[in-house]
Structures are given as C-alpha cells and as structure tokens.
Amino acid sequence: MWATVVMFAVMAMWDPVRLGVAVFVVMRNRPIPALFVFCLGGLTSSLLLGLSAVYLLHGTTKRLLADMNSTTDAIDAADAKLVIGGLVLLVAVALLLRAGTKTPVPVAVPVGSASSAGELEQEIEPEAPTSAPSLTAWLTTWARQLMQSQSLWMSFVAGLWAGPGPHVELIGALGVILASGECKSTQVAAVVTYAVVSFAFAEIPLVCYLIAPAKTQQYLAHVPNWLRARRIWVMATALTLLGLYLVFSGSLS
C-alpha cells in the first residue's frame, strides 16, 4: 500500500496545473508567506478530503469509487486525454506566436508644438459617460483585481483549490488506502503521507528558507519580476508541459 500511495503522490506533485498555480503564488510581493499559506491551504483541503473518506464516508466512498471505475470503463480515457492535450498544445502554440510577434511600438510626441499639444488635448478629452457596465464587464474587472491582489487569502484559496487535485491520482490513492483493510490509524497515516508528498514542490522552498533564510529570500525576491517579464512564455511553457503530459499519458493508456 505505502509504495502505491507514494507513487500516486509523486505523480500528483508533478501535475502541471498544480505547478502553474504555485508559480502564480510565488509571483506575489511576499513569496515566502504566500507560499506558506498556499501550502497550508493545500494540505488542509487534502487532509479534510482524505480523512472524511476514511472516517465519515468509508462505505460510501468505496461504492463511489466502484461506480466511477465502472463509468470510466465506458469512456475511452486515452482518447479524451489525447484530444484535451491536443487542444492545450494548440493554445500554447497560439501564445508562443503571440509572444514572438508582439513588439512594442514607440510613439513620439513633439515637444513645444502648440498644435500638437492642442491635438493631444483633443485626443485625451474624456468621453461622455456611458451606460452602466454589464455584468460580464464587472465580473471581468473583479476577477482581474482579485488576480492582482497581494492578499494572502488569495494564496490560501489557491491552495484549497489545488489541494485535492489532480483527481485521478487522489482517487487512485484513496482507493488503495480504503481497499487495504488496514486499521484506521494506518489509513490516516497513509492519507497524511499522500498529502505531504504531493505538496513537496511547495514544501521544499519553505524548508530551504528555514535552513538558509537569507539566500532563499534573495533567490525568491528575483522570481516575481522574472516571471512577470516573461509571463506569456511561462504560461505557454506550462500549457505545453500539460499538453505533452496528457498526450503522453493518453498514448500509453
């Protein structure tokens, strides 16, 4: 049981979606506290879900896993992974093409020219007030402000969301734990092991900070600016890895 649970946890640790969320968290102005809160949120949701399966929903979880296995038998998971992976790769290629063709266009404004100044004032003249923004525009603005927020709650929510995923590895680990027939304490230890190992990518920098805080802080201080300057390339790379992961796993299924 233990070897299988650790194997599923290592597979979950390298999930590209989780890594992408962690990259977004590190882009905060306070990377160490944000990473700690992100890890705390991820461990909280993983442990709550795992312990609920062991204690509260033991029989229900077994039946649910059996129903999910019977349902997935009727669906070709390999084809689904290939299709989704191909679509993700297309999005990554589009981002790479956009990043390669996007060049800044400098705009020169003559200094000391009265006519130019007058034209500039006319160009920047405020427009007449329009009607109230639509719900879609309001939600888009709210989401953008939330993404740019430096609040640690955003990192905690991201950890809560990323904690249970990826679902395939989590379901596999819980299935092995519940079917092992071990006592409750052993199953709880297995759930804790899965949660800790699956978040090792976020825990390793925190351990490094405890050992060498100055060097780790100095290194992580350059990460946000580096990522912001290359955000399109970073996003395209993450999508490429995710697409290749889906295509590769689908071709082997």
Query: Distance between CA 13 and CA 22 in Å, rounded?
Result: 11
Give the whole-number percent of the chain exceeding pLDDT 90: 19
Averaged pLDDT for residues 98-108: 59
The tokens of 143 are what?
């989401």
Which pLDDT value is given to residue 121? 46
Q: How far is CA 162 from the centre of its chain?
A: 6
Query: Distance between CA 185 and CA 149 in Å, rounded?
Result: 40
Query: Distance between CA 213 and CA 193 in Å, rounded?
Result: 26
Which pLDDT value is given to residue 55? 85
pTM for the predicted model, two decimal places: 0.65
Q: Which residue has the higher pLDDT, 6 or 118?
A: 6
Which pLDDT value is given to residue 246? 77
* pLDDT for residue 208 is more than 90: yes
Domain locations in the chain? Answer: 2-101+152-252
pLDDT tens for each residue of 134-155: 666 766 676 566 555 667 888 8
Which pLDDT value is given to residue 226? 75
Which pLDDT value is given to residue 31? 85
pLDDT tens for each residue of 14-69: 787 788 788 778 877 788 899 999 999 999 999 999 998 888 866 665 566 566 55
* pLDDT for residue 203 is more than 90: yes
* pLDDT for residue 120 is more than 50: no
Mean pLDDT for all residues in the chain: 76
Please tell me which of 147-151, 168-172, 235-239 the model is most confident about, judged by mean pLDDT. 168-172
Query: Distance between CA 36 and CA 158 in Å, rounded?
Result: 12
Three-state DSSP at 139 gives helix
Averaged pLDDT for residues 201-218: 90
* pLDDT for residue 188 is more than 60: yes
> Is-contact 241 16, C-beta < 8 A?
yes
* pLDDT for residue 204 is more than 70: yes
